[in-house]
């Protein structure tokens, strides 16, 4: 029996008591915050029909889904994110409700992914979706909530970058770049391949100024000054609108008191294909991946038959855990409370005492058999109880 | 080493032929450190004054260090970068380390067309890139992953062909191999971690602009 090692599936993990406690702490803080902002929690199935999850996704995303076959021979997949299931829910189940819909979730999601720090096949996300409004007020509320969410979870040092996917589209349009080239440019940008991006631009037959502008896009990062630079580049309505909207949202974010966390990135990229307007990501030093990501998706719900604008975000719980560990501010995750132990014949007395303690709000662990005072002390110390009560 | 230190820029450099070329290039734009040498026993070399850290790693590990954020930026051959399939920014073509990836077969057993090699075995260090190439040609192949001396494959009967990197072609000739398909040209690249490219953007941008001036 000694040599048996039972493995768990690739990309999954166990949370031992201290880790699970930390995870629960973070989730509780975030859940409380979402509730305070008027977002109502929903729970959707872990698995959905593959077709449902593929609405608004890239075809290449399909290989990242964990799939299996249902009894009726249709393909099922584990949800790879929560936005699509909630869009389905909103379109199907809230047909006659007044807008906006403010929904939240804390769920596990699943992807066939390469294992890295903070990147698992099963991982946990907390997020919100705000459905029904397209305004700057909606954009700002959701971004502000993301900032407060990360703060509530206990991460102190981070930055949120915001941009708009329609800015890039507008710029491409103003130089009349052909659709297949636009697609190519987007593809290499998504692959973060700026070498190839510049090569494609060099081969275009447009003005030198146009080439310089396009090449500048990935480098449009920083504070408000970037918006001025971007405004000078924006010559058509679409790209100008994108900039003006960012200015408007930023001024609201300052009112929310989160301006110091926000900067701009007009070349920002997001994994999901369904984003239409503002997009954002939160970063912390030393963690190679974003803590949180989100954006506006105004077409996904119409794919489900209910044309409504929407915006949302998801915070990665494991990434918050990693970030807090790096910052050295994990909660005191020792067990605290009272260990109640007793001598032979004192069990009933001990049960009554434990009941009283619990009623008084204390955490109590009751011994399951009579033991000596020394044994009780030893167990109490080893398991992190700050008090041991022994009934003689 | 404080890995979450925002003050420092950490640069991963590969051991081997790209090392001195990268170190020299970075030195020209003011990025250097005392005792920065491939043979250094220290794995992390710091320039406290300029707040730069160098990590010297095995070639194939550079993209991993950068993807995870253990290094902010790195220098790596395009071949290794492509094969690693890592999610990193590819910022600059550094121009050096030029070579190309190609398919070669034994001269005395050369078949008429490329497609005559369909469903045969190909020895390579780069199965992902090779597969992408053959798929585009509509060919299915059997890939034999080797870590070095790829030319040995056809000689000892391990494979019918090889996909490997060539600089001058001398090794091919010595082993009586002949190039039959050029797959792609390769040079060294400057890569960056996606979060570092946000949080340390000013430093990285300045570095990129300075490098562009001298390339």
Domain spans in chain B, listed from the N-terminal domain onward: 9-97+187-214, 99-185
Question: Using one digit for the tens of pLDDT, what is the confidence trace for A221-230?
Answer: 999 999 999 9
Are residues B202 and A195, on separate chains, in Cβ contact within 8 Å? no
Residues in chain B, total: 215
Last residue of a domain, one of A327, A347, A376: A327
Residues of chain B in contact with residue A289, where contact means CB-CB under 8 angstroms, are 69, 194-195
- Residue range A5-46, pLDDT digits in tens: 888 888 889 999 888 999 999 999 999 999 999 999 999 999
In this structure, the answer to whether residues A74 and A207 fall within a common structural domain is yes
Burial track A282-312 (b if 16+ CB lie within 10 A, e otherwise):
bbbbbbbbbbbbbbbbbbbbebbebebbbbb
> Which residue of B97, B128, B195, B200 to mutate against A (max A Cβ within 10 Å)?
B195
Task: Kindly give the residue spans of alpha helices, DSSP state H, lying in chain A.
Answer: 17-36, 50-54, 83-93, 136-153, 165-174, 179-190, 194-202, 208-216, 225-233, 237-255, 300-303, 317-327, 347-359, 373-382
| For range B96-101, the mean pLDDT | 92
Same domain, A342 and A301: no
Question: ipTM score of the complex?
Answer: 0.85
Confidence of residue B2 (pLDDT cuts 50, 70, 90): very low
Predicted confidence (pLDDT) at residue B152 exceeds the cutoff of 80: yes
Strand partners, A124: A108
Candidates B69, B92, B205; nearest CB to A286: B69
Please name the residues in contact with A301: beta carbons below 8 A apart, sequence gap of 6 or more.
Answer: A87, A90, A91, A131, A307, A308, A309, A310
With the C-alpha atoms ordered B169, B175, B181, B182, is the resulting torsion angle positive or negative? negative
Q: Which of A116, A194, A222 sits opposite B89 (nearest CB)?
A: A194
- Domain with A362 in it: 338-391
Instruction: Please give the Cα distance from A151 to A329 (Å, whole number).
Output: 12
Q: Does B90 touch chain A (CB under 8 A)?
A: yes
> Which chain A positions have a beta carbon within 8 Å of B207's beta carbon?
none
Could you tell me if A126 and A244 lie in one domain?
Answer: yes
- Which of B6, B90, B202 lies at the smallest CB-CB distance from A195? B90
What's residue B37's pLDDT?
84
Beta-carbon separation of B90 and A193 below 8 A: yes
For A58-80, how does the pLDDT look when each residue is reduced to its tens digit (9 = 90+)? Answer: 766 788 889 999 999 999 999 99
Is A164 in the same domain as A306? Answer: yes
Q: How many domains does chain A have?
A: 2
For residue A171, give both structure tokens: 């710029």
Report the pLDDT value the prediction gives residue A298, as an integer from 0 to 100.
92
Has residue A333 been placed in a domain? no
A309 within domain boundaries: yes
User: Selecting from 3.90.1580.10, 1.10.10.10, 3.40.190.10, 2.40.10.220, what CATH number does the domain B9-97+187-214 have?
Assistant: 3.40.190.10
- Closest CB to B67 among A283, A284, A288: A288
- Give the integer Cα–Cα distance in Å for A271 and A127: 16
Nearest alpha-carbon partner for A311 in A294, A323, A331: A294
Same domain, A188 and A275: yes
Nearest residue on chain B to A193, judged by CA atoms?
B90
Whether residues A288 and B205 touch (CB distance < 8 A) is answered with no
Residues A308 and A376 in one domain: no
CB B98 within 8 A of CB B17: no
Whether A12 is in a domain gets the answer no
Single out the residue in A327, A347, A370 at which a domain terminates: A327
pLDDT score recorded for residue B38: 81
Q: Is A50 inside a domain boundary?
A: yes
The CA–CA distances, whole Å, from B194 to A85, A281, B65 equal: 28, 11, 12
> Is the minimum CB–CB distance between B194 and chain A shorter than 8 Å?
yes
In a domain, A271, yes or no: yes
Residue B43 at interface with chain A, using a CB cutoff of 8 Å: no
Q: Tell me, yes or no, if B38 comes closer than 8 A to chain A by beta carbon.
A: no
Distance (Å) from the alpha carbon of B155 to chain A's nearest alpha carbon: 35
Same domain membership, residue A192 and residue A259: yes
Is B4's pLDDT higher than 50? no
Contact between A195 and B199 using a beta-carbon 8 Å cutoff: no
CA distance B154 to chain A (A): 33
The answer to whether the Cβ–Cβ distance between A285 and B4 falls below 8 Å is yes
Query: Per the domain annotation, does A332 fall within a domain?
Result: no
**Taking each helix axis from N to C terminus, what angle separates A208-216 and A225-233, rounded to the nearest 10 degrees?**
150
CATH node for B99-185: 3.40.190.10
Residue A232 shares a structural domain with residue A105: yes
In DSSP terms, which residues pair with A125 in a beta bridge?
A: A107, A316
Q: How many A/B residue pairs have CB atoms within 8 Å? A: 63
Assess if residue A293 is contained within a domain: yes
CATH code of residue A68: 3.30.930.10
Structure tokens at A32: 């409380």
Tokens standing for B46? 């710091």
The encoded tokens of residue A186 equal 């987007």
Q: Are residues A382 and A245 in the same domain?
A: no
The alpha-carbon gap from B135 to the nearest alpha carbon of chain A, in Å, equals 16
**Which residue reads 């992190």 in tokens?**
A384
């Amino acid at each position: 029996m000694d040599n048996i090692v039972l493995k768990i599936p690739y990309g999954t993990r166990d949370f031992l008591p201290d880790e699970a406690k930390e995870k629960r702490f973070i989730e509780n803080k975030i859940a409380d915050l979402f509730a305070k902002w008027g977002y109502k929690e929903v729970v959707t199935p872990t698995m959905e029909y593959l077709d449902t999850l593929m609405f608004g996704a890239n075809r290449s995303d399909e290989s990242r889904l964990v799939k299996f076959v249902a009894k009726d021979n249709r393909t099922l997949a584990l949800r790879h994110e929560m936005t699509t299931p909630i869009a389905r829910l909103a379109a199907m189940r809230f047909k006659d409700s007044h807008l906006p819909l403010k929904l939240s979730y804390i769920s596990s999601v699943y992807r066939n992914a390469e294992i890295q720090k903070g990147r698992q096949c099963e991982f946990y996300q907390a997020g919100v979706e705000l459905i029904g409004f397209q305004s700057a007020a909606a954009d700002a509320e959701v971004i502000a909530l993301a900032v407060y969410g990360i703060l509530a979870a206990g991460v102190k040092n981070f930055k949120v970058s915001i941009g708009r996917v329609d800015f890039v589209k507008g710029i491409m349009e103003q130089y009349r770049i052909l659709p297949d080239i636009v697609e190519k440019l987007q593809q290499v940008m998504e692959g973060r391949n700026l070498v190839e991006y510049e090569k494609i631009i060099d081969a275009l037959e447009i003005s030198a100024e146009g080439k310089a502008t396009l090449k500048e896009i990935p480098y449009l990062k920083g504070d408000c000054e970037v918006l001025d630079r971007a405004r000078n580049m924006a010559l058509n309505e679409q790209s100008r609108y994108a900039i003006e909207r960012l200015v408007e949202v930023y001024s609201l974010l300052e009112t929310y008191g989160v301006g110091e966390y926000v900067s701009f990135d007009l070349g920002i990229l997001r994994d999901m294909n369904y984003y239409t307007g503002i997009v954002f990501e939160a970063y912390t030093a030393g963690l190679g991946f974003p803590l949180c990501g989100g954006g506006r998706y105004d077409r996904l719900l119409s794919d489900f038959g209910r044309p409504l604008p929407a915006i949302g975000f998801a915070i990665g719980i494991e990434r918050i855990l990693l970030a807090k560990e790096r910052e050295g501010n994990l909660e005191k995750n020792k067990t605290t409370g009272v260990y109640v132990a007793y001598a032979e014949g004192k069990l009933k007395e001990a049960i009554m005492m434990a009941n009283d303690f619990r009623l008084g709000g204390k955490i109590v662990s009751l011994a399951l058999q009579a033991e000596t005072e020394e044994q009780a002390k030893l167990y109490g110390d080893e398991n992190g109880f700050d008090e041991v009560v022994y009934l003689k | 080493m404080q890995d979450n230190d925002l003050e420092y820029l950490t640069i991963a450099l590969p051991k081997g032929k790209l090392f001195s070329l990268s170190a020299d290039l970075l030195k020209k734009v003011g990025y250097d450190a005392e005792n920065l040498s491939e043979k250094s026993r220290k794995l992390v070399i710091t320039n406290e004054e300029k707040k730069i850290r160098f990590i010297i790693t095995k070639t194939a590990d550079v993209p991993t260090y950068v993807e995870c954020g253990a290094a902010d930026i790195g220098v790596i051959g395009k071949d290794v970068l492509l094969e690693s399939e890592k999610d990193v920014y590819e910022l600059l073509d550094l121009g050096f380390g030029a070579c190309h990836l190609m398919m070669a077969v034994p001269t005395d057993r050369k078949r008429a067309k490329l497609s005559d090699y369909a469903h045969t075995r190909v020895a390579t260090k780069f199965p992902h890139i090779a597969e992408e190439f053959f798929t585009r040609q509509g060919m299915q192949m059997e890939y034999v992953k080797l870590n070095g001396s790829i030319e040995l494959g056809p000689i000892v009967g391990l494979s019918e062909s090889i996909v490997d990197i060539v600089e001058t072609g001398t090794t091919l000739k010595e082993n009586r191999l002949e190039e039959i398909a050029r797959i792609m040209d390769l040079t060294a690249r400057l890569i960056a971690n996606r979060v570092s490219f946000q949080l340390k953007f000013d430093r990285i941008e300045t570095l990129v602009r300075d490098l562009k001036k001298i390339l």
